[in-house]
């Protein structure tokens, strides 16, 4: 039921991809629209922290329900907002409420699935997310051609449906009540876990490189003389590979050393984007996409399971939230810094991406894994 609810919610995530167009239609400039949309990312950063705290303190199901119902309410309010300041505040709140469920969902999945099977479980979870994103934009475009208001209401409706599914069908916490913890225990546990801290640093580096797929990679495709349609087709190779290959690959990777797989994935991501410096034909560009997508397929499910495996059970959602925070930071820094570095020296920037992948792999591999209780 968690997979179904996630698919419904991601399928109905209509507003964000079209928010810039909506604001321009309302008469705002591209700069104003871009600034407002960036606030969604700020809200999602906060969601990683708040969502992890709520999931560990009040329960997974309750946190998911709060996220979905408040998200639905914010989207309805956003559809009626007139002033840019109100739209900006509500967009930030939309990022907070819509993404608040993620640490709870990941922690609940880890609660329900034993350690040896979590890689496949998280691959299925990602499949639900990717399938929803693959199908949703087409429906969103259909609605937008008729009325942008339908986008907001459609997004709100699917969020509410996930909230109802959470209340009716999801368990709260399979192991009873939360463990009583000392104030600040979660922060101390995370920062004293040196291997996890290095993993988080590596995640920021890999995330920074990966998000170039939606910013500087598009610029490189354009600068190579190709159309937006070619860029869209290249990116679709990534989605298709993830949907078709990620689940079968996890049958192998779940039996391997997690940190080794994560490091290998980081290398593939870095090298894949590094090869972009040499790619100026469609086949060559497609090859780079294949390489960095292999990195994503290796890294993402194993990383989710790894974070679940190493976290103390009563801090599991906050460990997931800390990991989510790194990707939120990468999503903000990647386009902001990447586009400036690309404009300064395009070839050098792609080589930097390769170097960051190597550095990330090294950070993950350094250090001896401590003996941890099976969770």
* 3-state class (DSSP) for residue 147: coil
Say how many C-beta atoms besides its own lie within 10 A of residue 85's C-beta.
10
In a domain, 372, yes or no: no
Domain CATH number, residue 231:
1.20.1250.20
In a domain, 371, yes or no: no
In percent, how much of the chain has pLDDT > 90? 29
**Residue 246 and residue 333 in one domain:** yes
**Residue 154 and residue 269 in one domain:** no
**Residue 109 and residue 220 in one domain:** no
**Residue 13 and residue 161 in one domain:** yes
What pLDDT shows up at residue 27? 85
Give me the number of domains the chain comprises. 2
**Residue 213 and residue 340 in one domain:** yes
In a domain, 297, yes or no: yes
In a domain, 232, yes or no: yes
In a domain, 178, yes or no: no
Nearest to 10 by CA among 130, 101, 118: 130
- Alpha-carbon distance 264 to 253, whole Å? 11
**Residue 217 and residue 253 in one domain:** yes
Of 169, 203, 227, the domain-final residue: 169
What pLDDT shows up at residue 68? 92
In a domain, 10, yes or no: yes
**Residue 156 and residue 195 in one domain:** no
**Residue 324 and residue 221 in one domain:** yes
3-state DSSP of 61-90: HHHHHHHHHHHHHHHHHHHHCCCHHHHHHH
Of 145, 169, 193, the domain-final residue: 169
pTM over 0.85: no
**Residue 347 and residue 225 in one domain:** yes
Nearest to 128 by CA among 2, 7, 236, 304: 7
What pLDDT shows up at residue 180? 54
Domain extent, residue 360, equals: 185-365
Neighbour-count burial of 319, counting CB atoms closer than 10 A to its CB (0-12 exposed, 13-18 middle, 19+ buried) = buried
**Residue 69 and residue 134 in one domain:** yes
Of 169, 197, 228, the domain-final residue: 169
Q: pLDDT below 50 — which residues of the chain?
A: 176, 374
């Amino acid at each position: 039921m968690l997979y179904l609810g996630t698919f419904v919610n991601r399928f109905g995530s209509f507003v964000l991809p079209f928010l810039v167009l909506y604001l321009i239609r309302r008469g705002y400039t591209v700069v104003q629209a871009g600034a407002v949309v960036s606030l969604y990312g700020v809200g999602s950063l906060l969601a990683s922290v708040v969502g992890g705290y709520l999931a560990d303190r009040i329960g997974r199901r309750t946190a998911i329900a709060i996220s979905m119902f408040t998200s639905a309410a914010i989207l309805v309010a956003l559809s009626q907002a007139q002033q840019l300041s109100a739209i900006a505040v509500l967009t930030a709140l939309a990022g907070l409420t819509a993404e608040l469920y993620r640490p709870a969902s990941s922690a609940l999945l880890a609660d329900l699935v034993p350690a040896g099977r979590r890689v496949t479980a998280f691959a299925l979870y990602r499949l639900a997310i990717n399938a929803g994103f693959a199908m949703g934009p087409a429906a969103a475009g259909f609605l937008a051609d008729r009325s942008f208001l339908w986008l907001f209401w459609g997004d709100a409706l699917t969020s509410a449906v996930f909230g109802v599914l959470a209340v009716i069908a999801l368990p709260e916490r399979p192991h009873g009540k939360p463990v009583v913890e000392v104030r600040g225990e979660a922060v101390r546990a995370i920062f004293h876990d040196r291997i996890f801290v290095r993993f988080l640093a590596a995640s920021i580096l890999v995330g920074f490189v990966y998000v170039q797929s939606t910013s500087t990679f598009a610029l490189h495709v354009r600068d190579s003389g190709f159309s937006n349609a070619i860029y869209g087709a290249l990116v679709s190779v990534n989605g298709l590979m993830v949907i078709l290959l990620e689940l079968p690959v996890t049958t192998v990777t779940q039996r391997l050393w997690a940190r080794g797989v994560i490091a290998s994935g980081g290398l593939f991501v870095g090298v894949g984007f590094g090869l972009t410096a040499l790619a100026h034909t469609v086949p060559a560009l497609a090859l780079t996409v294949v390489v960095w997508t292999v990195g994503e397929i290796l890294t993402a499910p194993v990383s989710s399971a790894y974070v679940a495996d190493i976290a103390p059970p009563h801090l599991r959602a906050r460990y997931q939230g800390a990991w989510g925070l790194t990707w939120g930071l990468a999503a903000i820094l990647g386009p902001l810094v990447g586009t400036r570095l690309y404009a300064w020296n395009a070839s050098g920037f792609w080589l930097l991406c390769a170097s960051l992948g190597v550095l990330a792999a090294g950070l993950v591999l350094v250090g001896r894994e401590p003996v941890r209780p099976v969770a």
